[in-house]
Amino acid sequence: MTDAATAGLRARGTPAWPRFGHRLRGLIGGIGLAAAAAAQAAPANYQCTGYLPLKAEFTPRKAQVHFEEASWELLRVRDARGAMYVSKRAGVSLTIHKGDMSLTRGGETLSCKLLTNALAPENLGVPAATAPSASASR
């Protein structure tokens, strides 16, 4: 703002900083959008006892879990050991500690291990069609 514009605002009794407030609100809004983008669901794949696959998407407050033919939305609750998500309505709870997960439903507890796709051909930049197969190396 120029000195002449500031003098004009002061003459009318308007503070010289109202535009700063708009800029600050814009900055805070931008930070909020960035935080919302960071809070998007992070998918994870687990393998449970009996080689059963489990898929889950996690946000800081919720988990969407897909197991066998069922799906549940669980809310995060406080837990001293790790992350715990619960759906009282569905009778399902999920506890995560390091790479291990316990899924409890209907009084039954299932142990699961986190699977990683870090070495999958598509994550290494190798097209799936040209990736070597296990049978080709024999």
pTM of the model: 0.57
pLDDT tens column, 26-63: 544 444 444 444 457 788 999 999 999 999 999 989 99
pLDDT tens column, 91-106: 999 999 888 999 999 8
Both 47 and 111 in one domain: the answer is yes
Both 111 and 47 in one domain: the answer is yes
CATH number, residue 107: 2.40.128
Confidence band, pLDDT 50/70/90 cuts, at residue 13: low
Those residues with Cβ within 8 angstroms of residue 133's Cβ, 6 or more apart along the chain or in another chain:
none
On whether residue 127 sits in a domain, the answer given is no
Q: How much is the pLDDT for 23?
A: 52
Both 77 and 98 in one domain: the answer is yes
| Placement of tokens 């709870």 in the chain | 93
Those residues with Cβ within 8 angstroms of residue 78's Cβ, 6 or more apart along the chain or in another chain:
84
Average pLDDT value for the chain? 75
- Domains: count for the chain: 2
Whether 98 and 111 have beta carbons less than 8 Å apart is answered as no
Which domain range does residue 92 map to? Answer: 42-115
Residue 125 to residues 44, 49, 116, 128: CA-CA distances in angstroms?
20, 31, 16, 9
Whether 58 and 81 have beta carbons less than 8 Å apart is answered as no
Q: When comparing pLDDT for 44 and 17, which is higher?
A: 44
Both 91 and 104 in one domain: the answer is yes
